[in-house]
Amino acid sequence: MNKFFGLLFLYVVPNCLSAQIDSLTLREVVISGSRIEGFSNGVKFLQFDSSEISSRYNDNLGELLIERSPVFIKSYGPGTLSTTSFRGGNANQTPLIWNGLNITSPMNGTPDLALVPLSLIRDIQLQYGGASTAWGSGAVTGAILLNSNKDDAPEKIGIHLGAGSFGKFTQGVELNLKKGTWRTSISLFNQFAENDYAIDQSNNGSDIVREKQVNAAYVNSGLIASIAKRISKDHRLSFDYWFQKTKREIPPTLLEENNEAKQDDLANRFMVSWNWNRKNGNYESKAAFFQEILDYENPAIDLNSSNRSNTFIFESIRNYFLNSRHSFQAGLNGTFARADADSYEEDAFQNRVSIFGSYSLQNRNARISATTYLRQEFVSNGNNTAPFTFGLSGKWDLTQWLYVYVNVSRVYRVPTLNDLFWRPGGNPDLKSERGYSLESGFSMELFRARRELKFQFEATGFSRLVKDQIIWLPSASYWAPQNLMEVWSRGIETKTNLVYSRNGKKIGAEVLTNYVLATNQRSKVEGDASVGKQIIYTPRYNGSGKIFLGINNLSFSVIQTYTGYRFTSSDNSEWLDPFWITSLRIEYGIRLPTYAVTCLAEVNNLFSTSYQVVAARPMPLQNYELGVSIRFFNKTN
């Protein structure tokens, strides 16, 4: 109870002080920005270039992260399930955040990145390290932040068309209108593919004779719409809606002759936001309703499964800037989830209420900055209590070109509805996963010849220990979850970037490397051989490199990715071989006062490498994509 009142103090006091200090002239607050803006000193982010996102309208979020981030993506094939393994964590330890709210399924807690088309998203950030104090349950390894806000988008109308191998076609339309104090934007997306790609029969020594993948077609359609009204100079009201409908066939493994399994996904996401800008900070309040429907059918085993979940979220945040050196943030979040599934004996629910706060400060010359975070979440279900969570991060600018940073925090994840209520197997006595995360690193940036030559290098070391990690294990006749795992993840990440630009020409290279050692520290069963061994499907080494050349309107890039050994058995006695994948990409763009045209051509898996990300699920050999994007502007843009 003392923890509750302590955090409540953080929320109330800044609001009381604001009534007395409104006359101060402080730094400008951008009310459309992220709620972590200004409260993330020492926190590592990877910001994806907006022009790169807009040019990849044929791709989904998983495909972007494979090429342009250190996150290992566990993909079952094009258009099928794609999940994360970030810094040795599992798929439900990295949440998906849309416009500031967690949209991860309350049933399985696992975001499917294949269901996030890049054409619907404006801005993407990858937050590294323990983020439970910012985003609550599940943000153990980091978080993926999506922003679809297009308030400053210049185009009035955009049309995107794409085609690729295996019967892949993509269509997209964007509309952005502004009249007076109103702003309306809508993005529509549709993609379908036969996915009948060739299969290398040498994969895994399979005896199945199948020249092409079967039962792998998909159709993915959706839209994101936003209506915003600036009520006054300091007040803004907005409504956002994300609709997604996907029909996917589930392809057989190499050990199966065929199957006719299929899965239908439907999502409706509504969000209302109100922002009040003040001289000394701002208020932000949101209310949201997320609905997810998943229907799975497998005639081979006479299985029809229907799963539905509804999530209500409200959140209120107060940002308060005492002066240019001291800032406060306090907030309240309520998340109420309900689900109905064929495998639940009754409707399942989980209610969570969190109160959180942070304090950020800088020294007089702004070379040293730090932020401390606090969060307490209260959970409705039995033993599923969440620990009091805290964090401390800081950044020190040693010189104009070199800074160091550190971030330490406590992390947690409460059990999902499937963990608690699935029948048979669900365990209502499960405890929350909990642990500690630490990372530290440095970043340097050098310029030469009037900033025409730029060199950047960043290195980060991290360590994370999570206890009571939930794992599903077989019992006498079914699988059941237990708090048995204790996982220690540690490693090093680097980013190197060298760019030379002059007179409309640009040439450069970027290399991302990632080393992760993630081991089980505690025996799950008697005679357990997994102790001290690498977690399955967690490569020790992975990385990517990019060489690019731009001459006026033409750009050319070569992208190389590497994925190391992935163990497929917990005792590390079985594994998948490492692989290198090379892709080529050419873009040509023309920009005129009233319209712009961009054309692209891409060759994926240039050398037809035969590989599997997941055992017995082959990936495509060499394949191609073409696309054109046309944007029309107002004459004033």
Count other C-beta atoms under 10 Å from residue 382's C-beta. Answer: 12
Can you give the pLDDT at residue 336? 97
Dihedral over alpha carbons 86, 88, 89, 91 (to 10 degrees): 60
Spell out the alpha helix ranges (H) of 19-137.
50-55, 61-68, 132-135
* C-alpha–C-alpha distance, residues 366 and 364, integer Å: 6
Instruction: Grade residue 10 by pLDDT with cuts at 50, 70 and 90.
Output: very low
Residue type, position 119, single letter: S
Dig out the tokens for 606 from the structure: 């240039």
pLDDT (tens digit per residue) in 313-327: 999 999 999 988 999
Distance between CA atoms of residues 376 and 354, nearest Å: 6
Taking 60 as the threshold, does the pLDDT of residue 90 lie above it? yes
Is the pLDDT at 5 greater than 50? The verdict is no
3-state secondary structure (DSSP) of residue 570 = coil
pLDDT value for 384: 60
**The pLDDT value given to residue 150:** 74
**pLDDT tens, residue by residue, 144-165:** 999 998 776 667 899 999 999 9
Contacts of 236 (CB under 8 A, 6+ apart): 31, 32, 228, 229, 230, 273, 274, 275, 277
**What does each C-alpha distance from 209 to 199, 249, 256, 332 come to in angstroms?**
10, 20, 10, 57
Instruction: Confirm if 153 and 409 have CB atoms less than 8 A apart.
Output: no
Mean pLDDT lowest for which of 184-188, 277-281, 481-485?
A: 277-281
Q: Which amino acid is at 510?
A: E
Q: State residue 204 phi and psi, 5-degree precision.
A: 60, 15
Contact predicate 572/539, CB 8 Å:
no
Question: What secondary structure does DSSP assign to 430-476, as a single string?
Answer: PPPEEEEEEEEEEEEEEEETTTTEEEEEEEEEEEEEEEEEEEEEE-S
- pLDDT, tens only, 530-578: 999 999 999 999 999 999 999 999 999 999 999 999 999 999 999 999 9
Domain positions in the chain are: 2-633
Using pLDDT thresholds of 50, 70 and 90, give the confidence band for residue 382.
low
Q: Which pLDDT score is estimated for 149?
A: 83
Task: Give me the pLDDT at residue 461, please.
Answer: 98
Residue that wins the pLDDT comparison between 19 and 572 = 572
Instruction: Give the Cα separation of 547 and 506 in Å (integer).
Output: 11
How far is it, in rounded angstroms, from Cα 161 to Cα 154?
20
Domain 2-633 top-level CATH class: mainly beta
Mean pLDDT calculated for residue range 234-241: 96
Which of 203-207, 437-441, 577-581, 630-634 shows the lowest per-residue confidence on average (mean pLDDT)? 203-207
DSSP annotation of 76 reads S
| Cα angle value 51/442/364 (rounded, 5°) | 95
| Rg, the chain, Cα only | 25
Say which range, 30-39, 211-220, 486-495, 498-507, has the weakest mean pLDDT: 30-39
CA distances from 401 to 46, 75, 240, 299, 390 (A): 19, 38, 40, 61, 30
- The pLDDT assigned to 257 comes to 78
The closest alpha carbon to 246, from 189, 298, 311, belongs to 189
* Paired tokens of 242: 């994300």
With beta carbons less than 8 A apart as the criterion, state whether 419 and 434 touch.
no
Average pLDDT on 395-423 reads: 96
Q: What is the pTM of this model?
A: 0.92
Please answer whether residues 293 and 269 qualify as being in contact, where contact means their C-beta atoms are separated by less than 8 angstroms: no
Position 43 scores a pLDDT of 94
Beta bridge partners of 580: 562
| Whole-Å CA distances, 362 to 33, 366, 394, 395, 400 | 20, 5, 10, 10, 16
State the chain's mean pLDDT as an integer: 90
| Measured distance CA(351)–CA(374) in Å, rounded | 20
pLDDT of residue 278: 86
